[in-house]
Amino acid sequence: MNISRRQMLVLLPAAAVAWKSVLAGTPEDAPNYSMSDHWWGMLIDIPKCIGCGNCVRACAAENDVPDGYFRTWVERYHVSDENMTNPEVISPDGGKEGFPVAQEDDRKYFFVPKMCNHCVDSPCTQVCPVGATFVAPDGVVLIDPKYCLGCAYCVQACPYGCRYIHPRKEVADKCTLCYHRIVKGLTTACCEACPTGARQLVDLKNPKDPIHEFLKTHSVQVLKPQMATGAKAFYNGLDGSVR
């Protein structure tokens, strides 16, 4: 194989970059996380969700979420042809221990995992009076528990109901997209625990992320697009009845 000097000049730096990512090794030792290189979101593939509740349990374990409160939860929809705007929705204990067995009937069933949508124009950060919640430079909506007063404006402002006041800490709390994990190169606890791949952490700034191909080839929707929140939890196969 003959490689010209020009080709070599292109190939060598490319190989160096590839080798660097190989040397990065175990994700635990990745202190070189650069916020400006990422723009995080989540892909939720509804046809793949089996409602096992693994994500809810994993989230609670990873983030010490108190019982009865949820950073992520799963809803089961039961929708009839005639009354699509009024679906029957259940989420027993957030779907943490799964769902009761459903019997076949003439209506359709499906599961919808929900979580913080990590909106680009998030209503929750706009209403915070003290700057305790913010969109980080990598697109993750976070809460500074030392700055939060617990006024709960953000809890009311979130159109998706993703925030709560932590019963012990008495500050606002919600999904951090497992920020402590993704900076180390790990995926979120819910994605790690999902047995069917119904949840995928996506990095919209990474040109190699399969999300770009997925968004191009699938009918993907966000929740409540009319709110213009710039939600980054992308739902594949989202039914029109989902609220």
Contact with another protein (CB under 8 A) among 120, 186, 204, 227: 186
Residue 120 burial (C-beta neighbours within 10 Å; 0-12, 13-18, 19+): middle
Q: Does 195 bind another protein (CB under 8 A)?
A: yes
**Helix H or strand E encompassing 75:** strand 72-79
Q: Does 20 bind another protein (CB under 8 A)?
A: no
Query: Among residues 5 and 208, whose Cβ is nearest to another protein?
Result: 208
**Termini Cα distance of the chain:** 59
Binding to another protein (CB under 8 A) within 83-142 occurs at: 98-99, 101-105, 109-111, 131-137, 142
Q: Name the nearest CA neighbour of 200 among 62, 44, 37.
A: 44
Q: Does 32 bind another protein (CB under 8 A)?
A: no
Contact with another protein (CB under 8 A) among 42, 52, 115, 233: 52
Number of H helices and number of E strands within the chain?
7, 11
Identity of the residue numbered 25: G
Q: Does 218 bind another protein (CB under 8 A)?
A: no
Contact with another protein (CB under 8 A) among 120, 144, 152, 215: 144
Q: Name the nearest CA neighbour of 158 among 130, 184, 126.
A: 126
Q: Listing from the earlier edge strand, what are the strands of the sheet with 108-115?
A: 88-90, 72-79, 108-115
Q: Does 76 bind another protein (CB under 8 A)?
A: yes
Contact with another protein (CB under 8 A) among 38, 54, 141, 160: 54
What is the binding site for another protein (CB under 8 A)?
26-28, 33, 35, 47-54, 58, 61-63, 76, 78, 98-99, 101-105, 109-111, 131-137, 142, 144, 146-147, 176, 179-181, 183-184, 186-187, 189, 192-197
